[in-house]
């Protein structure tokens, strides 16, 4: 088990901010974190990491809100519970509401021998497989075969981010699910997990978690993190692979 100190939380938030910055069409580095814009409706369009190095001022929040307003996007702020108390205070004064909870999970990566082999085939995507990977990601996430260009673009952005290594899980000769891995500053981030509905319950995500942990170990990572919805199957699969809850992050959006 890893005890998450404020210093480690700052490091984790900085790594997550660095990852999403690489996906941005526009970005603003402010208040110790990053405001990222991809498209107005993209879940990647949000603020991460603010308040980890001290108080956030009303003027800084004004600048963040103006950044999103100029692009026709909502101001969505993902906040660590270890952020400076000035941040939730500012958000409460401006009528921000809670839109999402996410559990940040963590595990050490001591030895490759402690990571079980994937329970089915997992292969790393090739550079020319971005469209296929994005399609599986979108169809799994939105739980339908027909997805829009904007929904596909979410996967494309993640696939082509510089730190990203993308993976497929295959079943019956078909792509059943996808996941992504980035290793930054010794921390492996497991993200973009998506399994097609027709393949769920057959171990695709569990295999993807195990394969990415092994890849992270080989890449020299010392810790691995993942974010999941509380009580979800994704959280269960991560905990089966040695992750434990570190803290719960809350996403706020102006009502």
pLDDT attached to residue 254: 85
212 in a structural domain? yes
pLDDT of 111 reads 65
Residue indicated by tokens 């009502």:
255
Query: Model confidence over 31-74: pLDDT tens digits?
Result: 999 999 999 999 999 999 999 999 999 999 999 999 999 999 99
pLDDT at 244 (0 to 100): 96
Question: Which residues in the chain show pLDDT less than 50?
Answer: none
Domain assignment present for residue 226? The answer is: no
Same domain, 216 and 123: yes
- The angle that helices 149-160 and 130-142 make with each other, rounded to 10 degrees, is 120
For residue 14 the two structure tokens come to 């900085």
pTM of the model: 0.94
Give the per-residue pLDDT at 173: 87
Do 78 and 114 share a domain, yes or no? Answer: no
Looking at the structure, do residues 89 and 15 belong to the same domain, yes or no? yes
Q: Which residues form the domain of 121?
A: 110-221
Asked if 106 and 114 count as a contact pair (C-beta separation under 8 A), the reply is no
The pLDDT of residue 96: 97
Distances (CA, A) of 84 to 31, 76, 105: 11, 17, 21
Kindly state whether residue 234 falls inside one of the protein's structural domains: no
Quickly count: other Cβ atoms within 10 Å of residue 255's Cβ. 10
User: Tokens 């603020």 sit at which residue?
Assistant: 47
pLDDT at site 112: 57
Number of domains in the chain: 2
Which of 69, 87, 103 corresponds to the end of one domain?
103
State whether 69 and 171 are in the same domain.
Answer: no
Tell whether 79 and 163 lie within a shared domain.
no
């Amino acid at each position: 088990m890893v005890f998450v100190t404020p210093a480690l939380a700052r490091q984790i938030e900085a790594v997550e901010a660095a990852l999403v910055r690489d996906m941005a069409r526009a970005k603003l580095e402010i208040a110790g974190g990053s405001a990222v814009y991809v498209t107005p409706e993209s879940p990647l369009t949000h603020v991460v990491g603010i308040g980890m190095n001290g108080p956030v001022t009303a003027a800084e929040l004004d600048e963040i809100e103006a950044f999103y307003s100029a692009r026709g996007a909502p101001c969505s702020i993902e906040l660590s519970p270890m952020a400076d108390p000035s941040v939730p205070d500012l958000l409460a004064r401006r009528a921000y509401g809670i839109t999402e909870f996410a559990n940040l999970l963590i595990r050490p990566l001591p030895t490759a021998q402690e990571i079980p082999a994937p329970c089915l085939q997992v292969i790393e995507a090739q550079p020319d497989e971005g469209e296929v990977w994005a399609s599986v990601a979108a169809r799994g996430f939105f739980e339908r075969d027909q997805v829009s260009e904007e929904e596909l673009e979410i996967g494309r952005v993640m696939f082509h981010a510089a730190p990203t290594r993308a993976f497929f899980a295959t079943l019956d000769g078909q792509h059943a699910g996808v996941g992504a891995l980035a290793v930054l500053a010794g921390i492996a981030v497991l993200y973009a997990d998506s399994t097609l509905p027709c393949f769920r319950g057959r171990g695709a995500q569990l295999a993807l978690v195990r394969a990415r942990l092994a890849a992270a170990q080989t890449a020299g990572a010392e810790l691995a993190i993942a974010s999941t919805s509380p009580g979800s199957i994704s959280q269960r699969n991560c905990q089966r692979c040695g992750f434990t809850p570190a803290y719960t992050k809350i996403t706020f959006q102006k009502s």
